[in-house]
Structure 1
């Protein structure tokens, strides 16, 4: 009986983790073979048609495809890219971090350098002769 409870806890924890990763925005980086413009077009088209993809970009110098989306299956995406392009391997899969919001500017309180005269009489030299 105790082993069954341990197994049940393990299954519940695994399910919670997978569901939380499935519902968050992910960034998937896949290394592909980009030898020509035709290969780049194919890679973009395949990645854009995948389920859950919201943003696709290609870095030609590093030969990687970056895919951002919610609930994207990285393995099936890599397999379909490999099928069409000949080579594809997953470099990283991670959660997209939100950019830090800038802190609001604290207004500076300025004190007036003008000494207020009770009769509002200020002369040319800047002094009040009340």
Structure 2
């Protein structure tokens, strides 16, 4: 089951954004990682079998404040 996770992450500088993207991209099952939102403060993750809670906790340890905004299933078209 493919799923989409949108997380709000505190990323005040470019170094923080790079670190957050590396942490998410290294997680197992991740197919796509992208920045979205007005201030590029949200991470959109698409993948198969991703544990959202583990990923959020890992981001909190390595980057800073993180919260899950939405979690949903990707609809096949």
Gaps of 5+ in 1: 1-23, 100-130
Partner Cα distance (2:61, 2:45) in 1: 18
Gaps of 5+ in 2: none
Counterpart check, 1:54 vs 2:38: no
Counterpart check, 1:78 vs 2:60: no
Partner Cα distance (2:6, 2:75) in 1: 15
Counterpart check, 1:29 vs 2:6: yes
Which one has the bigger helix percentage? 1
Runs (4 or more) in structure 1 with deviation over 3 Å come to none
Partner Cα distance (1:59, 1:39) in 2: 15
1:88 is aligned to: 66
Partner Cα distance (1:68, 1:89) in 2: 16
Partner Cα distance (2:75, 2:34) in 1: 17
Counterpart check, 1:43 vs 2:20: yes
* Number of residues of Structure 1 aligned to a counterpart in Structure 2: 76
Compute the displacement of 1:62 (Å).
4.9
Which of 1 and 2 has higher RCO (CA within 8 Å, sep 6+)?
2
Compute the displacement of 1:28 (Å).
0.5
Query: Which of structures 1 and 2 has the bigger CA Rg?
Result: 1
For normalisation by structure 1, the TM-score amounts to: 0.56
Which one has the bigger strand percentage? 2
